[in-house]
Chains A and B, each alone.
Chain A
């Protein structure tokens, strides 16, 4: 009797599970697109664009955003599932190493042909594994109004020496002026990438330029003194003391700039919305200076322009889904509505032939400068051997910012010379 009851329970338990499992199997496959997006800022806009596409073509487009910090985990987990993303993002050549087996060759799809230049495609062996979909630029964002108040105009700043004399002059009279030269060069995790990645680009880029190469497993450090000069300028003329920088966040720096506490702010074109949305700045008040660090012919130096945003198509999903995804990407690249939407709603500057011009002041400025013959600085930092390398540099820079002494700077130098080579060794093993 009792046994029967237990047996009955067990049977119904199993039946319940079986019913639930079958429920999942019954729908037939229709081609669809599933895009795993990296930038939380554009999540809502992507959903709207996807909806528009579905209304026009009847193809379902799912958008999932995994915010930064969780993207790699989410991608690894989703790629193993039965309904894996058909389209995902990678950041550069280091990611290609990890994901090349999952990248569909884009060279024959026509997607690559829509790019304005070959440099916006990532290759692995003879495959085109990824295409860039938005360009970005960074430099020293400048509040023109404050600069004029201090008695200078942005046009006169065309070299490191000039930048330094302006910054030091502002620091001298900061009490009368009521503002400082630079926002805090925060070394908190949220902000440290501006230095351990973006500023660190300068010595790497110039060394590559001199040697005429694009990547290297060895850095000589010819331009490390220039790197030090510009970093010194940031910390010595900032809103806070060097010893406090270790805890300063991205929000702190942005709030200082929006609160008109400082003239200069090293950041990129992605900041445009945050700076203008709140009504804090009009387009006329903002401009971006190249990051001068005292190299030769720097009056011709442009902004740092490149990308960390690439699309890949997952080669392991069904062919129908791959085709649907190819169509969706092509639509994004060529359709006037999509072009306009990506430029206006997402603020993208797409390296596509039909791309709509962006409203982003910094990108427009970059465009003008390039046309006038300034030479943009490439994103050489993407050749860094590992994120571990950037973290080590970050720790060394934080320590140096707090003390400013030469011993600490030696650690920074070692990072470029010894650690870079060391990490490249490990990379070869992997």
Chain B
């Protein structure tokens, strides 16, 4: 691939990458390093942090609630990623067929993204509780199964439109000639879709899976508003567990433990992401050399 390196000389790094890298350093790298440092400290605010070693990590691992939250998050995230991406993809395919009302449907499916998570959480809480009381089941605050599915339904409702946008853009950047050629060769619609288009969408699918996965792991607003972890922390996800460390207990050590949990959480997601990228690499050799 000699041509590529001739295409842009490396010195253009200054123009293309450096401005963003500077902002990224300020907006992410410095705060991140400080955040990791704080996970080894006891602090009120950053200025008075005092180093305490790995004490915070020991407490974090010893916290039963944290382990439970971790497991609950994994359980929720996997189902969510699967449902959101399948549905988002199906809707994107339907809405690129240019059926009647496509413009309206696209808008409507995206609408949940226009409103912040907290408010949507409250609205869905009322709706789900209403349905539960009609069927005579225990309400959300007493019913961890309903809480689990409630979070999944809420997130599907909100994120299907999000990934749909990405899938639609990707589907539409596939040249028409390709599917036309396939159809001339006698391929059916579904064959064209799965054999020709799906492989071309591979990078988009990976993008969407990764985005939905990280969103699921970082989920906070909706969790807080819909169940706030009730009953008794049974529906508490990681971010909420970390947040509760900051607020639910007095004593400065808890802030450091919260930071430590966040670091542990990062490491776990990195491991999952690496596994995902390895999968991607095997299947997608031509793009990642």
Contacts and interface: CB of A to CB of B under 8 A. Distances in A.
A and B touch in the complex (CB under 8 A): yes
Interface of A: 2-3, 6-7, 9-10, 13, 72-73, 76, 79-80, 94-95, 97-99, 101-102, 187-189, 243-244, 246-247, 316, 385-388, 391-392, 395-396, 398-399, 402, 423, 426-427, 429-430
B62 to A, nearest CB: 11
Interface of B: 11-12, 14-15, 18-19, 44-48, 125-126, 129, 133, 138-142, 228, 230-232, 244, 246-254
Nearest to B19: A13
A95 B247 CA distance: 10
A10 B142 contact: no
- Most A-side CB within 10 Å, residue of B15, B138, B247, B249: B249
A97 B251 contact: yes
Contacts of B250: 94-95, 97-98, 385-386, 427, 430
B249 A6 contact: no
Contacts of B47: 80, 316
Contact of A79 (B45, B232, B246, B248): B45
Given A94-B250, A247-B139, A430-B249, A395 B11 contact: no
Contacts of B230: 395, 398
Interface centre among A187, A243, A385, A430 (most CB of B within 10 A): A430
Contacts of B129: 246-247
B232 to A, nearest CB: 4
B166 to A, nearest CB: 31
24 contacts: A6-B12, A6-B14, A10-B15, A72-B246, A73-B246, A76-B44, A76-B246, A79-B44, A80-B45, A80-B47, A97-B252, A98-B252, A188-B141, A243-B139, A247-B133, A386-B250, A391-B248, A392-B232, A398-B141, A399-B142, A402-B139, A423-B249, A430-B249, A430-B252
A68 to B, nearest CB: 11
B139 A388 contact: no
Contacts of A73: 246
A385 B248 CA distance: 10
Query: Do most interface residues of chain A lie in helix, strand or loop, or is the interface mixed?
Result: helix
The majority secondary structure among interface residues of chain B is helix
B44 A246 contact: no
B15 A388 contact: no
Nearest to A189: B228
Contacts of A9: 15
Contacts, number: 99
Interface centre among B46, B230, B246, B252 (most CB of A within 10 A): B230
B48 A246 contact: no
Contacts of B253: 429-430
A399 B141 CA distance: 8
Contacts of A388: 244, 248-249
Contacts of A99: 44
Contacts of B251: 97-98, 426-427, 429-430
Given A247-B129, A247-B139, A429-B253, A387 B15 contact: no
Contact of B232 (A7, A247, A395, A426): A395
A246 B254 CA distance: 29
B19 to A, nearest CB: 6
Given A247-B125, A392-B232, A402 B18 contact: no
B140 A101 contact: no
Given A98-B250, A247-B125, A388-B244, A6 B11 contact: yes
A395 to B, nearest CB: 4
A390 to B, nearest CB: 9
> What are the 9 tightest A-B residue pairs by CB atom distance, in nearest-first order?
A430-B251, A94-B250, A246-B141, A80-B45, A6-B15, A388-B248, A247-B129, A246-B139, A395-B232
